[in-house]
Amino acid sequence: MFKPHVTVACLVHAAGKFLIVEETINGKALWNQPAGHLEADETLAQAAERELWEETGIRAAPQHFIRLHQWIAPDHTPFLRFLFAIDLSETCATEPHDSDIDRCLWVSSQEILQADNLRSPLVAESLRCWQTGVRYPLSLIGEFNWPFTEGVKHGSA
């Protein structure tokens, strides 16, 4: 049975800048969007919100769904990566709570598109998807009969 990794990513924009997290992998500082794996007890939007807080210290909920990427990493690991957008009114201070994150940066789109230190090509591709202006409502990927919602827990509709 095919079992791809399910991940979420947040493209965070404010005042013409984009939020990047930097982490050192194999001795090299690499850039990514705040991103990570879906946990068993959370929705995709909840996972995106959690990963954003863990990696940047920012508490914000996804506002839009941008794209689902089906991707095979260079090590042949299959992924389904759900990309969310968060637009903030201004850049803000960051404080990563994930020890794997070295720092956060607010950078221009050109810096991302021209960077030679992206963790994966999906970092630039995510920005290109955001730049198209296509935004989908979060309800496009809504949960159904989810066991962790209050209505289901109490047997109501």
Q: Is the pLDDT confidence value at 156 over 50?
A: no
Closest by alpha carbon to 21, among 150, 87, 112, 149?
A: 112
- What confidence category does residue 142 fall into, taking pLDDT thresholds of 50, 70 and 90? confident
Secondary-structure breakdown of the chain: helix, strand, coil percentages, each rounded to the nearest 5: 25, 35, 40
Share above pLDDT 90 across residues of the chain, in percent, rounded to a whole number: 87
Q: 152 or 10: whose pLDDT is higher?
A: 10
Quick: pLDDT tens for 21-67: 999 999 999 999 999 999 988 999 999 999 999 999 999 999 999 99
Whole-structure pTM value: 0.91
- Burial (CB count within 10 angstroms: exposed 0-12, middle 13-18, buried 19+), residue 98: middle
What pLDDT is stored for residue 147 in this prediction?
76
* Beta strands at 17-25 and 103-107: parallel, antiparallel or unpaired: antiparallel
Q: Which fold has domain 5-153?
A: Nucleoside Triphosphate Pyrophosphohydrolase (3.90.79)
- Measured CA to CA, the distance from residue 30 to residue 100 in angstroms comes to 11
Largest Cα separation within the chain, whole Å, is: 53
What pLDDT is stored for residue 146 in this prediction?
78
Quick: pLDDT tens for 82-101: 999 999 999 999 999 999 99
Give Rg (Cα) of the chain: 16
Beta strands in 73-131 (DSSP E): 78-88, 103-107
